[in-house]
Each structure stands twice: as structure tokens, then as C-alpha cells.
Amino acid sequence: MNRYNLCCLPTPLHRLDRVNLGIEAWIKRDDLTGFAMGGNKGRKLEFLVADWLSRGVRAVVTCGASDSNFIRQLAVVGRMVGIEVHAAVMDLPFDSAAGRPKGHSTYRGNEVLSIQAGAKLYKEADGDWEDMYESMEQISRDLNNEGVFAEVVPVGGSSPQGVHAFVQASKELNETFDTIVVASSSGSTHVGLATAFHGTATRVIGISADPEPTLVEDFAVLSQAYGERTGGLALTKFDLDLRFVGPGYGVPSEGGRRAQQKLLESEGIYLDPVYTAKAFDGFMNLAAEGVLGSKALFWHTGGMPSIFTEFA
């Protein structure tokens, strides 16, 4: 797959010498990818944008929460290369089977940045993810009827290109770990790392940001698409821990707040409330449970603008 360079790579990899979790703990700093305020989505966009430019794509449509990290970075790269960015958004999308979480957010940092970069956001009332997916498809149809071909981009950039980005990212590690822990939601970061370390002694565990056990089925479909695209391996099983979701997607958890304070006070590193705080809560608990082995890595996926979000 071709690549359009956006990020400052490799990102730092270093020990967490002061956090004191009873194991040798390390961190991969994808909060410092450098592009559009950092985060893991820039890695995916390097391969997505290269594909779009090679095919002459002039407009894209995606969806997500109003405070989406992916929409923020997509908006910026779209502005850079001349691709229109349209996005169906809800402030707090949820899975109807799991129920609507309590709380809401205002003053969303990512939303401000997405609008500043020129994305056109189509906001609707909070509802099920499936409703938002249908809105995304309808926006694409409307644009096409207007003579603007708009390619649909999966939520979070979770595509074969997104998986490939993290297969490649795995090559930046010059240390061997018993376990790698990463925030997991739309799936391509988790699937990419699981693919890269399949068959090795390194276990990859995703800490879910969503209260949906069926996410692993989506991961298997994504892995199949990647395997078909590359002629490589398609995985069917993934380690996904749902214990640290808290009230639901997009709403901070008490454990996540404690994890934020723990890492900030010990190492001076910020975590975002939606993904990495919950994932580091999982990392700390798994270390205490003896699950991580003697040497483990926390893959920090960024999301810093979400810190500047008010939750009620």
C-alpha cells in the first residue's frame, strides 16, 4: 500500500519508571505522532490518503461522535490535499442493546478543531450507531445526486489501510514484551497489532471503549478484508476486555479518572477520557491481576483534544 507521509515517526518508546505497577511497564507515545495534534488516526490516514489521491477522490463521507479524533485529523488532511470532508455526527452515539449512557458533553475540543479545518458536520440527535451509519450513507447518496462523488470512509478509519498502518507501526518496537495493551473501539489499531504479533510470545489485549461484546465479530470481518487485500493472515479471535467501559462510550469512568491522575502525577503524561484513560485503567488492573507478565507495553493512542471537553 502506498503511503502519504503525515506523522513524525517512529514515536517515542520508553519505560514508565515512576508509575510503580509491580512490573516493567513501557509506553508507546502515539499521542506524539505530530500531525494535527497527534494520535493514532494519523497513521491510518497516511495510507488512506495515498489511496484516495491515487484514484482522484475529491470528497469523503464518514461518521462518528462530535468529539471524534478521526474526524479531526481527517478534516485537517482533507484541507491540506483538497478533499472535501463530510461527516454525520452525534454528540453521544450508543448501542441500543447496551442502553444509552447517562451524561452528556459540551464544549468538545475535537469538534472545534474539525470545524476550524473545514469539515462539514451534519449533527443529529443522539441515537444508535446504526442510525448514524445510515445517515452517512444518505449524505453520500445526496452528494452523488448533486454530482459530487463522495467515498464512504468507515468510522475511525477502520479499513484494511488502517490495519496495515499498525502492522507497520509494530516494526517500530525495538523491545520485546509479554503483553501489549491498547484502547480498542472501531478496531483497526487492535487488529493491526494483533496481526503483527500473531504466532509470537507477545499477547495483544484491547481494552474496549464500547459496551458491545459483538465488536470482536466486526474485528474478524475487518481482518478478513485485510487478509484478502494483502494475501495475508485473517484472524478470527481477539482479546477484548470490556470491564473498563464505565457508563458507556464517550462518557468518562471513575477508574479512568483515577488512571489519568496516576499517570499524570507519576510520569507527567496526559490521557484522554474516552479511550486511553479507560485503557490505562485496564492496564493497571491487569498488572495487579498478574495477567501482563513481567514486561508490558501500554500503547498510548492519543486523543488529547478530548481533555478539553466538559462532561455533565
Grid coordinates standing for 206? Answer: 484491547
Co-location of 162 and 292 in the same domain: yes
Is 68 noted as a catalytic residue in this protein? Answer: yes
Grid coordinates standing for 289? Answer: 491481576
Which of 121, 156, 191 delimits the end of a domain? 156
Mean pLDDT score, 40-44:
98
Co-location of 146 and 249 in the same domain: no
6, part of any domain: no
Mean pLDDT score, 112-119:
96
90, part of any domain: yes
310 pLDDT tier (thresholds 50, 70, 90): confident
Co-location of 46 and 178 in the same domain: no
Which of 112, 133, 156 delimits the end of a domain? 156
Question: Cis ω on the peptide bond leading into residue 10 (within 30° of 0)?
Answer: yes
β-pairing, 24-29 vs 13-15, is antiparallel
Residue 102 has a pLDDT of: 79
Co-location of 167 and 118 in the same domain: no
β-pairing, 105-106 vs 310-311, is antiparallel
Mean pLDDT score, 120-127:
96
296, part of any domain: yes
Q: Please give the single-letter amino acid code of residue 217.
A: E
Co-location of 163 and 85 in the same domain: no
Looking from the CA of 188 toward its CB, the CA atoms found within 13 Å total: 28
pLDDT at 107 over 70: no
Residue 312 has a pLDDT of: 63
Measured between alpha carbons, how far is residue 180 from residues 35, 85, 166, 227, 283 in Å? 24, 33, 13, 22, 9
Q: Find the catalytic residue in 66, 68, 188, 306.
A: 68
Co-location of 227 and 107 in the same domain: no
Which of 126, 156, 186 delimits the end of a domain? 156
Return all residues near 52 (Cβ < 8 A) that are at least 6 apart: 60, 83, 151
282, part of any domain: yes
Q: Nearest Cα to 32, choosing from 52, 50, 56, 7?
A: 7
4, part of any domain: no
Mean pLDDT score, 144-157:
95
Mean pLDDT score, 101-126:
89
Residue ranges making up the domain that contains 141: 42-156
β-pairing, 59-65 vs 84-90, is parallel
Co-location of 19 and 64 in the same domain: no
Total domain count, the chain? 2
d(CA 185, CA 253): 16
8, part of any domain: no
d(CA 90, CA 121): 10
66-79 confidence digits (pLDDT tens): 999 999 999 999 99
Co-location of 273 and 189 in the same domain: yes
210-231 confidence digits (pLDDT tens): 999 999 999 999 999 999 999 9
3, part of any domain: no
Contact 199, 214 (CB under 8 A): no
CATH number at residue 189: 3.40.50.1100
Co-location of 110 and 54 in the same domain: yes
5, part of any domain: no
Co-location of 59 and 180 in the same domain: no
103 pLDDT tier (thresholds 50, 70, 90): confident
Co-location of 81 and 140 in the same domain: yes
Mean pLDDT score, 147-153:
95
Q: Got the DSSP string for 51-76?
A: HHHHHT--EEEEEEETT-HHHHHHHH
Co-location of 138 and 208 in the same domain: no
d(CA 116, CA 110): 10
